[in-house]
């Protein structure tokens, strides 16, 4: 089983910020310490490309995120201050889900399982981010797997206590 993690996932946030950003590094440390995974099971993902992101997100929204031109209300709705590191983290998170899907579908390492240790950005909608979610990794990956001809249909099982409202709206018309 391949596990995708990048140090970029731990975004530096202002003191007192309520998002528990360190949870991603702690999860990786716990998995490493478990002895269940070899060092080469941990992979650093590439960032999702514009082409991959644009399958799920509006071009204007991507431009505003990448260019740092989100307005104050958009930044507040996302919940993270805009920085270049925030953009890279968001691209890498989507890239990790893409890589995990490709790995699982290819049965890399003999396993049809793979994971992104920082996935679940299900509150990002087509043209806005929300609830600490900038790019919707599940929607980006589902649409990429279809576009690449790897799958015809995708089931997204979201076990979070909150509905993945962004995922639902982005994929509403996708079979």
Active site residues: 123
Structure token digits, residue 37:
């995974």
Q: Provide the CB-side half-sphere exposure for 149 (13 A, CA).
A: 0
Yes or no: say if 111 and 96 are a contact pair by the CB < 8 Å rule. Answer: no
Distance between CA 94 and CA 1 in Å, rounded? Answer: 19
Instruction: Give phi and psi for 39, each to the nearest 5.
Output: -55, -40
Q: Max Cα separation, the chain?
A: 47
């Amino acid at each position: 089983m391949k596990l995708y993690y990048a140090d970029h996932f731990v975004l530096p946030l202002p003191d007192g910020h309520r998002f528990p950003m360190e949870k991603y590094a702690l999860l990786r440390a716990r998995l490493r310490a478990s002895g269940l995974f070899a060092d080469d099971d941990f992979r650093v993902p590439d960032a999702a490309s514009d082409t991959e992101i644009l399958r799920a997100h509006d071009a204007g929204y991507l431009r505003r995120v990448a260019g740092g031109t989100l307005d104050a209300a958009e930044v507040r709705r996302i919940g993270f201050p805009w920085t270049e590191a925030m953009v890279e983290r968001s691209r890498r998170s989507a890239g990790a889900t893409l890589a995990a899907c490709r790995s699982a579908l290819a049965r890399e390492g003999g396993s049809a399982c793979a994971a992104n240790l920082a996935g679940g950005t299900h509150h990002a909608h087509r043209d806005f981010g929300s609830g600490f979610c900038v790019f919707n990794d599940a929607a980006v990956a589902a649409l990429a797997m279809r576009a690449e001809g790897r799958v015809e249909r995708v089931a997204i099982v979201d076990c979070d206590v909150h509905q993945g409202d962004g995922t639902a709206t982005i994929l509403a018309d996708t079979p």
